[in-house]
Amino acid sequence: MRSSAQRKMARVPNGARVGLAAAIVLLAYTNALPEDTTGRESGKPGVWIRVNQVGYLPDDPKIAVLSSDKPLEGSFSVGDFTANIGPDQGTWGPFRHNYRLDFSPVRAPATYRVRFSEVVSLPFTVGEGAYRDVPGNLLRFMQLQRCGDNPVTGEKCHQHDAIDTSTGERVDLVGGWHDAGDRIKHIITTSYCAGALQLAGATEEAEYGAAFLRKVHPNADTIYVQIGDDRDHAPPDALWHEDKTDYGWGPGGPRPAWPATGSPEGPTHKNKSSGLANLAGRTSAAMVLAGQVAKARSLYRLARAKPGCAMSVPVRAPYYYGESTFHDDLEWAATELYIATKEPAYLAQAIEHARSAGDSRWMGKSRHGHYEFFPYVNLAHWRLYPYADEKTRRELAAFYRSGLERVRQVAVKNPYRLGTPLVWCSTNDVIAFATQAILYERMTGDRRYRALATEARDWIFGRNPWGVSFVIGVPETGVAASRPHHLFHKLRNHLPVGGLVDGPVYKDINDNLKFAPFGQDRFERFQSEIGVYHDCYQDFSTNEPIIDGTVSLLLLLKVWT
C-alpha cells in the first residue's frame, strides 16, 4: 500500500506559506515543470525508439527497442556504428511490431542518439561516469522525506510524535522518514531503508533513519509498526511542517503510535498480522549495521519469540502492507549479528533461517499481493554467503539462481525483456530482480543474468513503452516523471527530484484505484491492458514516489560492477 491510496477526493490546499528562510531554501531546490522537455525524440508518427536515457557503462549490453504500428526493415545507427534492426519481435502491449536494436559494440565515451530512418531517439551517455550523478539525486529525495528536522525546507515537523494507541502514554518517536507522498511513517519500510542505506554506503542518511529506529523498540516486548495513519489523507492538504491533522488530541497535535501486536489490527478494517518477526528481524539487522548491537540482540530475541508478520494498520480505508515472509528478515538479523559478534550460534541460526526462506517465491509470478514479499530481494543470502560453509554456499546461490531463472523464462517472451509483474509498486520488483542478479554474479562469478539485469535497469530509466524515466527529474534533460503524486509538487510546484515512482501497473489495478479524474493523458497512445502509467498527480498507483524503491535503486547502483 502506498498510503495515499485512501485519497478518494481532491483535497483543497490550505494556502499556508513556508517561512521566508525555508522558502529561499525550497526555491533553490525547485525544478520547473515544463509542458515539454528538451531532447525529445523526433521522427515520423507511428514509430518510436526507446532507450535508457541516463546511459550505459562501456561494458554494458546496449539494446534499444524500436516499436511501430507497421512492419519495418532496414538499418539503424548509433554514432559511427550501423547494424540491421533484426527480426520482428511481434506484438507486445501497445505496439504491434517491435525490434531490438543491439549496439553493444559502442563503447567510446560520448553522448549518442539511436537513429532509424528519420526517427531519432532521446540522447544518452556511454561512459564510466554515466551514473555519477544519480545517487546524489536519490539521496536528495530521501532528505526531502525526512520527518522531524528537514534539511530541504529548513522546517521542523511532527514534533509531538507520538501517543501509544494501546496505553495512551506519550512516547518519543520524532524523526525518521515520511513513507511516500503523504506524512505517515511506516517502520516496515523505514527498517529496510536504514539497513540498505548502510550497505549502499550512504552513512549519513542511514544514521538519520537509525536514530529513529532506536526509539521504536523501547522495551523487550514492544516494537511500533506505524506512526500516524490514513486519517492524514483528509482535507486540507498540507506540507510536512503544516500538518494540522487531528487524531483526537487537537489539530496538529500528537499522532498515534501503533504497536505491533502480532494479531490482526485496525479499529474498523483489520490487517492480517500474525507475528512480529519480519518487523523486529529487519529492524534488528538495521541496528547492527548502525553499530547498535545490544538493541539488535533484543529485537532479534523478540523476532524469534514472535514468528509471523506485522502489517501496517488501516483506519479509514482497507489498504495496508500485507507482508507474508519473515525468515528472510530473521536470516538478515542473525547474519549481521554474527558478522558483528562472531558468535557461532548466530551463524547456525542464520543458516537455519536461510533454508527456511529459500528462494524468492514471487519471482516468475504474474501477480502477487501488495508488499506481500517485501523487500523482494533477500539481501541476507548475499551477506551470509562469505561466512557459510561450502555446502551452504551452494544452497544460497541456488536459491538466487532458481528465482532468477523463473524471471528469465518470462522475460525472453517479450521485446523489453521484462520478467517481473506489473503490480502496485512494480518498480520495486524490477529493481529487486536486477539486484539479485548482480549479487548472484558477485557471489559466484556467473554472469549469465547480467544482460537481463541491465535490461531491467534500462526499463527504470526510460526504455519502456512510455519512454519515461521513473526517477523524478532524472535525467534532467530527458523525459522523466515530472508531475508526481507528492504534496511538495502539488502545493509548492517543488519537484521531488530523485524519487522513484511506483511505476506502471496492469490496467485493472489502475482502474480499481482511480479515485479522481486524471485529466488529459499525454501517454494515451502507449497504454494497454498489459500496463498503464500516468504522469499526473492524481494517479497514486503509478506516480507516487516511494522511499523503499528509491533506496533499493541506490543499493543496486552501489553493487553494480
Cell, residue 239: 506540507
Higher pLDDT, 16 or 454: 454
Residues contacting 154, CB < 8 A, separation 6+: 19, 21, 22, 25, 26
| Placement of cell 482502474 in the chain | 511
Instruction: Report, as an integer, the average pLDDT of 154-175.
Output: 97
485 vs 506: CA distance, rounded Å: 18
pLDDT-derived band at 386 (thresholds 50, 70, 90) equals: very high
pLDDT-derived band at 34 (thresholds 50, 70, 90) equals: very low
The conformational region for residue 410 under phi > 0 = left, psi -120 to 50 = alpha, else beta, is alpha
Residue 557 contacts residue 135 (beta carbons within 8 Å): yes
23 vs 26: CA distance, rounded Å: 5
Instruction: Report, as an integer, the average pLDDT of 500-524.
Output: 94
Angle (nearest 5°) at CA 238 between 495 and 162: 115
Of 52, 45, 7, 10, the residue nearest 453 (C-alpha): 52
pLDDT at 20: 31
**In this predicted structure, which of 141-150, 230-239, 266-275, 320-329 has the lowest mean pLDDT?**
230-239
Check whether 237 has a pLDDT greater than 60.
yes
Q: What is the per-residue pLDDT across 39-91, written as a single tens digit (0 to 9) for each? A: 456 666 799 999 999 999 999 999 999 999 999 999 999 999 999 999 999 99
**In this predicted structure, which of 10-14, 68-72, 194-198, 503-507 has the lowest mean pLDDT?**
10-14
451 vs 449: CA distance, rounded Å: 6
Q: What is the per-residue pLDDT across 366-384, written as a single tens digit (0 to 9) for each? A: 999 999 999 999 999 999 9
Instruction: Report, as an integer, the average pLDDT of 175-183.
Output: 95
pLDDT at 235: 83
pLDDT at 45: 77
Instruction: Report, as an integer, the average pLDDT of 178-183.
Output: 93
DSSP E strands in 204-304: the ranges are 224-227, 256-259
pLDDT at 275: 98
Instruction: Report, as an integer, the average pLDDT of 163-185.
Output: 96
Instruction: Report, as an integer, the average pLDDT of 265-281.
Output: 96
Of 218, 244, 138, 243, the residue nearest 472 (C-alpha): 138
pLDDT at 40: 53
pLDDT at 11: 29
Q: Walk me through the domains of the chain, giving residue ranges and CATH numbers.
A: 3-9+132-464+542-559 (1.50.10.10)
Distances (CA, A) of 353 to 327, 359, 541: 5, 12, 33
Residues of the chain with pLDDT > 70, as a percent, come to: 92
Bond prior to 45 in cis (omega within 30° of 0):
no
Classified as helix, coil or strand, 259 is strand
Higher pLDDT, 110 or 7: 110
Mean of pLDDT over the chain:
92
pLDDT at 233: 86
Instruction: Report, as an integer, the average pLDDT of 111-125.
Output: 97
134-144 vs 203-213: helix crossing angle, rounded to 10:
30
